A and B are shown apart, each in its own frame.
Chain A
Amino acid sequence: MAVHSDLIICEHCDSLYQRLPLKRGDVARCVRCGAVLERGQRFNLEQLLALTIAAGILFIFANVFPVIHISMQGLSNEATLWQSVDALAQGRITLIALVAGLAIIFAPMLQIALLSWVLAYAYAGRIAPGFKLCMRSLEQLRPWSMLEVCLLGILVSIIKLAGMVKVVPGVGLWAIAMLTVLIILIAGKGIQRLWDELGVPVE
């Protein structure tokens, strides 16, 4: 059977192209609709794996340490990501706590875990057990991972509270800022390259 992985189809307008080799930083765009078809690889597998492990460590920091610390007339309080999600889990509105929890905790966590799994095997030149399921889940999770919105939310909250109480950003905030950048670098559409690079067989 003919192998079609040297063909690219634009997901926005269904145009068909022959794949060309791209250099680092090159971007292939569809001439019909202007959408990005493919980007030149920024990192090799080893670097991607390293960044994923770094993201895992930052994720732990982001969740263990409080993101904001406030004090007011001798009283003080601080909140971690989990406590913020938990603050929404009240009676009738609990549903929204699930959405927020997915967006800022569970989706990034699963992305990091799945990426570590498939990349660790890919680094050894092998296809991870459950590779297809992992890659499909990564595709599904991408739109629900909202760490960059969370980062802006923390900044808005700091400004919002600054008029009322004394606000100190916590260690968690710095970890989230760095983690946001890493997730954008490692969990984008570029990860689809693994299908070709590992030579996943076509039935």
Chain B
Amino acid sequence: MNLPPYASELQLCLCHTCGYACPVDAHRCPRCDSMIHRRKPDSISRTWAFLVASLIFYIPANLLPVMFTDILGHGSENTIMSGVLEFWEAGSWDIALVIFIASVVVPCMKFSLLALLLITCQRRSRWAMRERSRLFRFVELVGYWSMLDVLVVALVAALVQFRALSTIEPRLGILFFGLVVVLTMFAAMSFDPRLIWDAEVDDVR
């Protein structure tokens, strides 16, 4: 199959803000004045930094309680996993599955897929480039759904406020969990998917 040329071979570079094909020697897009880069600056090290930071925060996010429930003076604290198990045991396997996917499967998948992309790019691997490109788009697409748990805790805590009868309060774990989601989003944003294809080209920086 006849593949199109790379923009960098023709001394052109994409402006991410307005989509204009800028000359590579420009620092700002001639149309919209945004900063332009041939590749996102320090993409690999920044992405690693955000990824490692989010992994560290993921530990307290799972160990600390995210919610405190008080029903008729009987208080209990829930972590993310115990919330999922409660639903599962109560027979609501469907809702347990939704929460499990959003708060466990999605973040863990994001960690491992981003690490895989980073390692293969650092080794300038030419393995499955098209598929890895698709993987990255998938990571970008599903990443923010992890915010689900944060928003559920917010809504439930805002609603269940019946003083003596029952109250629900957010706890520290939800802060760490939210930060994990934000940090993994930053990680995905700082990764430059064009690096996957740079393995084919020699002198791109």
Contacts A79-B158, A88-B154 given; indicate if A9 touches B7 (C-beta within 8 A): yes
Q: Which of A8, A149, A164 sits near B147, CB closer than 8 Å?
A: A149
> Contact: A31 with B3, CB < 8 Å?
yes
**Which chain B residues numbered 124 to 174 have a C-beta less than 8 Å away from chain A?**
129-130, 133-134, 136-137, 144-145, 147-148, 150-162, 165-166, 169-172, 174
Q: In the docked arrangement, what's the CA distance between A9 and B192, Å?
A: 14
B interface secondary structure, majority: helix
Q: How far is the CB of B170 from chain A (nearest CB, A)?
A: 6
Q: Indicate whether A12 reaches chain B with its CB closer than 8 angstroms.
A: yes
Is B98 an interface position by the 8 A CB rule? Answer: yes
**B152-A17 in contact (CB<8A):** no
Contact B178 A100 (CB under 8 A): yes
For A202, give its contact among B30, B171, B193 (CB under 8 Å): B30
Q: Are A149 and B148 within 8 A (Cβ)?
A: yes
B182 within 8 A of A: yes
A34 CB-CB contact with B under 8 Å: yes
Would you give the shortest CB distance from A111 to chain B, in whole angstroms? 15
Q: Chain A, 97-112, contact with B by CB distance < 8 Å: what is the 0/1 string?
A: 1011001100000000
Task: Check B130 against A202 for contact (C-beta < 8 Å).
Answer: no
- Provide the B69-92 mask, 1 if CB < 8 A to any CB of A, else 0: 000000000000000000100101
How many residues belonging to A are interface residues under a CB distance threshold of 8 Å? 68
Type the 1/0 row for B4-16, where 1 means its CB is closer than 8 Å to any CB of A.
Answer: 1111101011101
Contacts A15-B3, A84-B154, A153-B151 hold; do A96 and B174 have CB atoms under 8 A apart?
yes
Q: Which residue of A lies closest to B5 (CB)?
A: A16
Contact for A149 among B6, B134, B144, CB less than 8 A: B144
Binary B-proximity of A145-163 (CB < 8 A = 1, otherwise 0): 0100110111011011101
Taking A93-B172, A96-B179 as given, write out 9 further A-B residue pairs in contact, using a Cβ cutoff of 8 Å, ordered by the A residue number.
A9-B21, A14-B6, A15-B5, A68-B159, A88-B150, A135-B18, A152-B145, A156-B152, A195-B32
Offer 24 A-B interface pairs, CB within 8 angstroms, sorted by A.
A8-B19, A9-B12, A9-B13, A11-B194, A12-B136, A31-B4, A35-B137, A77-B159, A77-B160, A79-B155, A84-B155, A87-B157, A88-B153, A93-B170, A93-B175, A95-B175, A95-B178, A96-B175, A99-B182, A136-B17, A146-B151, A159-B92, A164-B166, A165-B160
